[in-house]
């Protein structure tokens, strides 16, 4: 599943993405990483530095280039969140098959490569504004493994910074229209890649929706429901509004997700895993 949301200033937004879940630190997996041809141009690699991330959200890049945008409430970036099927999260985090975490990351990688090919910026010449392709992105990836209700939920926030390099290496604001227009296609690409990798690991899958969403075949619906507290909160709120996930717009889903979101508190990982094991029995 792919959801998209606007990210504001560095001061307001950075702390959420820095709240990395611990599981990805195990086995040498990095909780965060820079990604994209734009990151390479700036010499950014490895884990995301919080000060560099904050500055980039505010429009100042490591090479001191500044992305100008005088509009109030400027877009610091766009959060493209790739969420694995609940059953995959359960098998990886409760069942202990960490190969599924790698399958998720590789699938996100493929979706981002496609998205990078859409990157563009606006240029105005002789009073005429047009879009020019740049084909490079500056992305901060943050890997999380919990929902806000502390259920297992493998997901990656790919925070696409509002910056892209022109052919002359001047930096401009990123045009994000194609990301929104092709959201369903990009989400379907992620799911297709993930389904292939999951099956290559020996798992069988079952389709749950016409758009390609799936679950691992051996995990029953009632087991998935037991680990889906966050999803239930969202669906209950949508029902209050006379909507469901299919009938609600992307904006309505985003607003419901925000209004039902609870702050994560400190988590005792050992206790949490014990609770998961009891729940899965």
Q: Which residue, among 98, 78, 79, has the nearest Cα to 89 in the 3D structure?
A: 98
Q: Are the C-beta atoms of 209 and 195 separated by less than 8 Å?
A: no
Residue from 17, 23, 190, 203 carrying the catalytic annotation? 17
Q: DSSP secondary-structure letter at 46?
A: S
Q: Are the C-beta atoms of 15 and 264 separated by less than 8 Å?
A: no
Residue 17 appears among annotated catalytic residues = yes
Residue 16 appears among annotated catalytic residues = yes
How far CA 104 is from CA of 67, 95, 153, 263, in Å, comes to: 32, 16, 12, 25
Q: Are the C-beta atoms of 108 and 189 separated by less than 8 Å?
A: no
Q: Which residues contact residue 18 at a Cβ distance below 8 angstroms, ignoring those fewer than 6 apart?
A: 32, 50, 53, 142
Active site residues per annotation: 16-17
């Amino acid at each position: 599943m792919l959801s998209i949301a606007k990210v504001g200033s560095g001061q307001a937004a950075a702390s959420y993405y820095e709240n990395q879940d611990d599981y990805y630190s195990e086995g040498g997996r990095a909780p965060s990483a820079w990604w994209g041809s734009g990151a390479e141009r700036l010499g950014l690699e490895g884990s995301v530095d919080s000060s560099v991330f904050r500055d980039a959200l505010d429009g100042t890049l490591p090479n001191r280039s500044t992305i100008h945008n005088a509009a109030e409430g400027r877009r610091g970036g766009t959060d493209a969140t790739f969420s694995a099927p609940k059953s995959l999260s359960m098998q990886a985090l409760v069942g202990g098959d960490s190969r599924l975490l790698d399958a998720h990351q590789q699938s996100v990688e493929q979706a981002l490569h496609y998205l990078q090919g859409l990157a563009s910026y606006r240029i105005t010449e002789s009073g005429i504004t047009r879009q020019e392709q740049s084909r490079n992105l500056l992305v901060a990836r943050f890997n999380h493994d919990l929902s806000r209700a502390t259920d297992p939920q493998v997901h990656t926030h790919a925070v696409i910074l509002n910056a892209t390099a022109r052919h002359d290496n001047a930096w401009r604001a990123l045009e994000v229209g194609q990301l929104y227009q092709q959201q369903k296609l990009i989400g379907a690409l992620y799911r297709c890649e993930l389904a292939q990798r999951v099956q290559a690991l020996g798992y069988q899958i079952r389709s749950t929706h016409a758009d390609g969403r799936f679950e691992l075949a051996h995990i029953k619906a009632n087991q998935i429901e037991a680990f889906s507290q966050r999803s239930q909160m969202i669906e209950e709120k949508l029902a209050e509004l006379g909507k469901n996930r299919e009938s609600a717009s992307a904006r309505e889903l985003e607003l419901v997700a925000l209004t039902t979101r609870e702050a994560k508190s400190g988590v005792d990982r050992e206790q949490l895993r014990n609770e998961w094991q009891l729940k899965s029995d």
